[in-house]
Amino acid sequence: MVIYGLLIMSGCLVVGTFLGMCLGAALGISANVGGVGFGMLMLLLVTRKMQDKGLMDSKTEQGILFWRAMFIPVVIALVSRQNVIAALSGGWLAFVAGLGAVFLCFVFIRPLTALAGESSLDDDGTKLPAE
């Protein structure tokens, strides 16, 4: 059933967010620390387990795949509601601080990635549609 896919996603997001809030509270800040990250890991583990046990039928999978394909349109909507005016009105200080940080981060990608060893995106049929 398609709704089972949505059930898995909802469960992982809610539990993950709860864990993130708990971690935040434990650290003494009222913020969600890594909630969606925990949820994503959970979804990965749960669906992997279900596939191994043969519980993942194609309808359930379709429920998840639909929302995965909706990610890019949602991102486009998200970008269209950014406060671009505020970014432009901060003057040169905001630009130097924001852009400078981004450029420096790019420089550090290679050296830090080297720590992780071999990594590749070989195609195993899970490629996301472009739009």
Partner 1 sequence: MDFFSTTIMKIVGSYGMVTTFAVLGIMTIIATYLSKNVLKGRIDPSALAVIMALILAYIGGAATGGKRGISDVTFFAGMGFVGGGMWLNYTLIATAYGAKLEELKKAGLAGGLALVVGTIIAFVVGALAAYAAGYRDAVSLTTIGAGAATFAVGPVTGAALGATSDVIALSIAAGVVKSVSVMILTPFLAKPFGLTTPAAAMVYGGLVGTTSGTSAGLAATDARLVPYGATTATFYTGFGCLVCPSIGYFAVLALTGG
**Interactions with partner 1, residue window 34-73 (CB under 8 A):** 34-37, 39-41, 43-45, 47-48, 64-65, 67-68, 70-73
User: How does DSSP assign 24-53, residue by residue?
Assistant: HHHTT-SS--SHHHHHHHHHHHHHHHHHHT
User: How does DSSP assign 47-84, residue by residue?
Assistant: HHHHHHTT---HHHHHHHHHHHHTHHHHHHHHHHTS-H
Candidate list 3, 7, 31, 55; residue touching partner 1; CB under 8 A: 31
Candidate list 53, 54, 58, 78; residue touching partner 1; CB under 8 A: 78
Q: How far is 31 from 24, CA to CA, in rounded Å?
A: 5
The owner of tokens 């997001």 is 13
Rg (CA), the chain: 19
**18 vs 23, which CB is nearer to partner 1?**
23
Candidate list 52, 53, 54, 107; residue touching partner 1; CB under 8 A: 107
Q: How far is the CB of 115 from partner 1 (least distance, A)?
A: 4
Q: How far is the CB of 55 from partner 1 (least distance, A)?
A: 15
Contact between 119 and partner 1 (CB under 8 A)?
yes
